[in-house]
Amino acid sequence: MDSRMLPTRFTQTNVGDMFIVRNAGNLVPHANLCGHEEITTEPAALELGCVINGIKHVIVCGHSDCKAMNMLHMMRNSDRTLQEMLKLSPLKAWLMRHGHSSAGKFAQLELSNFQAPLVFQAETPMRRFIAYIDPDNKFSEEDKLSQVNTLQQLQNIASYNFMRDGLTRGRVYIHALWFDIYTGDIYYFSRQQKMFVDVNENNMEKLEEEVLKYYT
């Protein structure tokens, strides 16, 4: 939702090249949290894009200084209930319900003094990938949480039954980008290197080889 994020500009794409869904916190609710009484836009957009329109690549793009992630970081140890949050703030309730897994992963990272890798589920329950979050310690805790959250959404996307066949058979692929709004740097999560990698002219060919090898 952040107006500082212009996906068509930093991806150098044209109108109609991408199907874009934006929301507060860059969150895709996990399938377990979407029942008959709570249907949200995000899974509906996934089904429209990937099942009906045949989109092959789903890219979750987080960014630095995300106001929603800043708020989630601030309230991550809150003892208020979801019902209490609903009365106070729809945004806080949304973050509490759908950012809970990201906050939990971030807590693991904190316990290791931001050194240990995190493990995320990939396209299927049997596939996992390892992620080192900001190993050079360039970013704030809030931005570290934003990167964790971006990767958590890959796991959430893969939780939907209607996505499973495409992900299992290689008809749909999921990726993670992270954008530094202050420097303009774009980071691609490399499963080979197990971290977000700054995309530049020095590593472009290597990253392209990884994408062509594993995601085509």
**Max Cα–Cα distance, the chain, nearest Å:** 51
Helices (H), the chain: 7-10, 41-46, 67-74, 82-88, 90-98, 100-111, 141-157, 161-169, 204-214
Residue 214's pLDDT is 80
Average pLDDT over the chain reads 90
Residue 66 among known ligand-binding residues: yes
**Domain 7-214: which topology?**
Beta-carbonic Anhydrase; Chain A (3.40.1050)
- pLDDT tens-digit map of 98-132: 999 999 999 999 999 999 999 998 888 788 999 99
- pLDDT tens-digit map of 164-186: 999 999 999 999 999 999 999 99
Residue 98 among known ligand-binding residues: no
Q: Name the pTM for this structure.
A: 0.92
Q: Where are the domains of the chain?
A: 7-214
Residue 61 among known ligand-binding residues: no
Look at 2 and 12; give whichever has higher pLDDT: 12
